[in-house]
Amino acid sequence: MAGSDLRTFFDPKGIALIGARSSPGFGYGIPIVLKHHGWEDRLFQVNPKGGQLHGMKVYESLDEVPDSVDLAVIIVPAPAVPAVLEMVGKRGIRHAVIESAGFSEIGTEGRALQDRARDVAVKHGIRVIGPNCVGVVNTSNKFSTVEVIDESMEPGSTAIIAQSGVFGAIMLDMLHEYWLHISKAATLGNRMDLDECDLLDFFHEDEATKVIMMYLEGAADGKALRETLDRVARDKPVLVLKSGRTSAGRAATASHTASLSGEDQIYDAVFKQTGAIRAGSLEELVEMARVFSTQPIPKGNRLAVITSSGSLGVMATDTAVSCGLAVPELSEATAHRIREGAPGWMNVRNPIDVGPSPQFPVALAAALDDPGVDLILAITVLPYAIFRAVTSRGSTGENWFGHIEKIKAEGPSKPMVVCAVGHNDFVEKMREISGVSVPVFVAPEPAVKALASLHDYAKFCGRL
């Protein structure tokens, strides 16, 4: 289907919220969020009881809502869904998010109910997201069919496709804590109609989206997923967390969003062949998204490690080499530049262990300039007692390590990340001097792995 068809889900002219209610639940919370974000004039709550909710009229029937309504958000009990869809179809609405649970994920009976609902949707030509999901979020117009906190509505460039509604919701809850902001999100649930391929195609064409993050338990259609990724992943990075790796894990997915995961090796092969980047864990997915959404694609595999801790430099080097990066000798010119003004004990190698010297910003700038360096890891580590003593005398993290964001701005074409280990206050200061353009990690291994995934992608796309 054409990607443009899905636009209504993310940017509707009018929304009928079927199942608005005065007691706790989605039907109570979603209108509050929509009103809060300025959708009051385009939101039409529907409940046979009528009346008022949140200071807005409740329509007793779908017949009463205006013609501008092009999206139905359905939050009624599962058994009522087919009849509601029938009314939606008759009203001429062609897009529906079904959030209700109790369909194929609960067994045979639910599966039959879902089939009946699908028949109604097909008959009327209604495109459906769900059931058993929390629908969509669009940060650019602040539209959402799920209760999200304000922090999650800050616009960013990462799109989320999540098979599970709860998973999508908790990602929205936590990503802002990693300074990661999203463009749009879609949770798919039981995929009665639209699936991950439709959303991949849509986000492929979506200008606000630079990176696509996807959580999948099993493909709706393996062949279609392969073909879609083949189209999309080369243009826009697609980061995938695919669970159900093991047979026990696969068995567990069956009762959840009602898909049977395929064999893991096949998925692995599909991701590798199409250039989709597979995350090994939830944390890896988030960490890769932070790097892909902020950093350029590297032109080679040569990593410079600038560190104030020898130990962490060694750990980073181990991880880098294990992940296909090189940690080569620095050029004579770069070494010379760093050595100027450096104390006698400093070994100017790579990793560049500046220890407690003032050479950190010098080394950082030199590595950015060195044509023999493709990626940069800055390990900013300082025992808190020292940091506290330094700052109490009016100095700052910036005086010690340089203003990392500004230094990076001088060499924007090279990916760079920071690793700060230690006390929370210290890590926070490092985030401040790194800004939004340089992600800060709290351990060396994940920082290097995220950089290495950028290199993997560059290699796949033939950009090296």
- Residue 271 binds a second copy, judged by CB under 8 A: no
- Residue 262 binds a second copy, judged by CB under 8 A: no
Chain-centroid distance of CA 317 in Å reads: 27
**Of positions 100, 228, 257, 334, contacts a second copy by CB under 8 A:** 257
Q: Per-residue DSSP letters for 223-280?
A: HHHHHHHHHHTTTS-EEEEE---SHHHHHHHHTTTS-----HHHHHHHHHHHT-EE-S
**Of positions 11, 35, 227, 282, contacts a second copy by CB under 8 A:** 282
Q: List all residues 6 or more positions away from 100 whose beta carbon is below 8 Å from its beta carbon.
A: 19, 74, 75, 76, 77, 78, 81, 130, 131, 132
The nearest distance, CB 291 to a second copy, in angstroms, is 17
To which residue do tokens 């100017």 refer? Answer: 348
In the range 10-39, which residues lie near a second copy by CB under 8 A?
24, 29, 33
The nearest distance, CB 148 to a second copy, in angstroms, is 7
- Residue 312 binds a second copy, judged by CB under 8 A: yes
- Name 95's bridge partners: 127
Which secondary-structure segment (H or E) carries 205? helix 196-205
Interface map 321-360 toward a second copy (x if CB under 8 A) = xx---xx----------------xx-x-x-x-x-------
Q: Based on CB atoms, which residue is closest to a second copy, 215 or 457?
A: 215
- Residue 147 binds a second copy, judged by CB under 8 A: yes
- Residue 318 binds a second copy, judged by CB under 8 A: yes
- Residue 144 phi/psi, 5-degree rounding, is -155, 135
Alpha carbons 233 and 196: distance in angstroms, whole number: 13
CA torsion angle for 170, 180, 13, 18 (degrees, to 10)? 0
Count interface residues toward a second copy (CB under 8 A): 82
**55-63, 251-259, 288-296, 407-415 -> range binding a second copy (CB under 8 A):** 251-259
Q: Is 62 within 8 Å of 91 (Cβ atoms)? A: yes
Alpha carbons 315 and 395: distance in angstroms, whole number: 29
Which two tokens mark 210?
Answer: 């630079």
Q: Cis peptide before 351, with omega less than 30 degrees from 0?
A: yes
Q: Based on CB atoms, which residue is closest to a second copy, 297 or 443?
A: 443
- Residue 249 binds a second copy, judged by CB under 8 A: yes
- Residue 80 binds a second copy, judged by CB under 8 A: no
The nearest distance, CB 315 to a second copy, in angstroms, is 5
- The alpha carbons of the chain give a radius of gyration, in whole angstroms, of 25
Q: Based on CB atoms, which residue is closest to a second copy, 333 or 386?
A: 386
| 277-278 vs 211-216, strand pairing mode | unpaired
Burial of 149 (0-12, 13-18, 19+ CB in 10 A): exposed
Q: Based on CB atoms, which residue is closest to a second copy, 88 or 134?
A: 134
**Of positions 52, 61, 255, 273, contacts a second copy by CB under 8 A:** 255
In the range 213-242, which residues lie near a second copy by CB under 8 A?
215, 217, 241
- Residue 266 binds a second copy, judged by CB under 8 A: no
**Of positions 54, 106, 227, 369, contacts a second copy by CB under 8 A:** 106
The nearest distance, CB 425 to a second copy, in angstroms, is 9
Alpha carbons 197 and 161: distance in angstroms, whole number: 10
Q: Based on CB atoms, which residue is closest to a second copy, 89 or 168?
A: 168
**39-47, 201-209, 253-261, 408-416 -> range binding a second copy (CB under 8 A):** 253-261
Q: Based on CB atoms, which residue is closest to a second copy, 238 or 420?
A: 420
In the range 389-448, which residues lie near a second copy by CB under 8 A?
389-390, 393, 421-424, 426, 443-446
**Of positions 207, 385, 394, 462, contacts a second copy by CB under 8 A:** 385
The nearest distance, CB 193 to a second copy, in angstroms, is 21
Q: Based on CB atoms, which residue is closest to a second copy, 297 or 326?
A: 326
**Of positions 61, 247, 273, 413, contacts a second copy by CB under 8 A:** 247
Q: Based on CB atoms, which residue is closest to a second copy, 312 or 373?
A: 312
- Residue 384 phi/psi, 5-degree rounding, is -60, -35
The CB density around residue 112, as the number of other CB atoms within 10 Å, is: 12
DSSP three-state, residue 200: helix
DSSP letter assigned to residue 311: H
In the range 56-75, which residues lie near a second copy by CB under 8 A?
none
In the range 153-212, which residues lie near a second copy by CB under 8 A?
163-164, 166-167, 169-170, 172-174, 177
Closest CA relative to residue 216, chosen from 276, 139, 127:
276
The nearest distance, CB 393 to a second copy, in angstroms, is 7
Alpha carbons 195 and 190: distance in angstroms, whole number: 9
In the range 110-139, which residues lie near a second copy by CB under 8 A?
110, 134
Widest CA span in the chain? 83
The nearest distance, CB 272 to a second copy, in angstroms, is 19
